[in-house]
Amino acid sequence: MSDGRTMSYKRLDDPLRQRALIPFLEAAANLDGHLVAIAVDKRKKWLSTTKDLGTDLRKVLQLNASWNSLALESMFRKVQLTAILLSIWSRPYTNVTWITDEDEFVANGTRHDDALQATARFCSFYSAHPMGVLRLITTGQDPDKLNYEDLCAIPDLAAGMLSEISTGLAQLGSWENRMQKVIEGQLSLKAEVLADWFWDTHMPLRKTLITIDVEGSRFAVRKVSMQEEDISSEMPR
Q: Are residues 167 and 220 in the same domain?
A: yes
* Beta bridge partners of residue 97, listed in sequence order: 135
Q: Are residues 56 and 112 in the same domain?
A: yes
End position of a domain, from candidates 116, 141, 166: 141
Which range has highest mean pLDDT (46-50, 80-84, 162-166, 172-176)? 80-84
The answer to whether 151 touches 145, Cβ cutoff 8 Å, is no
pLDDT at 31: 96
pTM recorded for the entire structure: 0.83
pLDDT at 99: 96
Q: Which residue has the higher pLDDT, 193 or 236?
A: 193
Q: Are residues 90 and 130 in the same domain?
A: yes
Residue 36 has pLDDT above 70, yes or no: yes
Q: Are residues 10 and 56 in the same domain?
A: no
Q: Are residues 233 and 154 in the same domain?
A: yes
- Pairing assessment for the beta strands 174-176 and 180-182 based on DSSP bridges: antiparallel
pLDDT at 231: 42
Length of the chain, in residues: 237
Q: Are residues 56 and 130 in the same domain?
A: yes
What range defines the domain where residue 62 resides? 50-141
Any domain includes 135: yes
pLDDT at 184: 62
pLDDT at 158: 94
Q: Are residues 136 and 156 in the same domain?
A: no
Any domain includes 182: yes
Give pLDDT tens digits for 130-185: 999 999 999 988 777 788 999 999 999 999 998 888 777 666 554 455 445 566 66
Q: Are residues 9 and 84 in the same domain?
A: no
The two counts, helices (H) then strands (E), for the chain are: 6, 7
Residue 116 has pLDDT above 90, yes or no: yes
Cβ count within 10 A of residue 28: 21
pLDDT at 219: 74
Any domain includes 42: no
Residue 5 has pLDDT above 80, yes or no: no
Q: Are residues 159 and 237 in the same domain?
A: yes
What secondary structure letter does DSSP report for 217?
A: T
Question: How would residue 226 be classed by pLDDT, with cut points 50, 70 and 90?
Answer: low
Q: Which residue has the higher pLDDT, 230 or 222?
A: 222
Residue 225 has pLDDT above 90, yes or no: no
pLDDT at 163: 86
End position of a domain, from candidates 107, 141, 175: 141
Which amino acid, one-letter code, is at 178?
R
Q: Which of 78-82, 88-92, 112-116, 167-171 has the lowest mean pLDDT?
A: 167-171
Cα distance between residue 92 and residue 44, in whole Å: 34
Cβ within 8 Å of residue 192, ≥6 positions away: 231
